[in-house]
Chains A and B, each alone.
Chain A
């Protein structure tokens, strides 16, 4: 299941134990990595931040540290990739299904998706990770890339 995730999750786009204190800050840190690595255009970060304010991506998992999956329209994406950030202290994202509800988020998967038919496997593996409490617990304490690989296979 997690093969697909490591395929699209660029090791240089993984930020562990970030000090970011707002959702915009962690989105911009991760989007900066994706831009530097050639996955997205310079317009991507602003587009994701704007979209997060109107169509949020927080997923309520009934945990103290929930997950968000910020992303935006394919026109800002050059090639498919995923960045991941874990937060030292949860930051607030709004609930995808109910934007009035605020959620503490400890894990951010920033998605650069431009072809849904080819990226189904990666999306499924992101969702499988989100739905696996042990995997999230492992990611929370991960401090090195090897720790992440041990969790995601």
Chain B
């Protein structure tokens, strides 16, 4: 197995929706037998932090200057399309 990956969870304040998404993804990936390191940040902090993480899951738009993969996390708030996003996250973690 490859080294443990790091996901950066981002939202407007870095405390509210990114927390809900972080918890939802952590629980769902545990069920799929996957663990990861989690960080949380404000969307505006992402460009400065992106280099030190593997990919980003965000509920708000992220600056186009960020070159790491950005996965949209809104599905974990609305419940709509959640499985598809979980598959995307699993694929990134297994890379």
Contacts and interface: CB of A to CB of B under 8 A. Distances in A.
Counting contact residues on chain A (CB < 8 A from B), the size range is 20 to 34
A131 B15 CA distance: 20
A62 B43 CA distance: 25
B15 A127 contact: no
B16 A99 contact: no
Given A55-B60, A97-B61, A130 B78 contact: yes
Contact of A62 (B16, B76, B80): B80
Contacts of A99: 61
B13 A72 contact: yes
A88 B13 CA distance: 29
B79 A116 contact: no
A61 B75 CA distance: 10
A11 interface: no
A73 B43 CA distance: 13
A119 interface: yes
B73 to A, nearest CB: 9
B5 interface: no
Nearest to A100: B61
A17 to B, nearest CB: 24
5 residue pairs, one from A and one from B, having the closest CB atoms: A131-B79, A55-B12, A116-B19, A116-B15, A123-B20
9 contacts: A55-B60, A57-B12, A60-B78, A61-B80, A96-B74, A97-B60, A116-B16, A120-B20, A123-B19
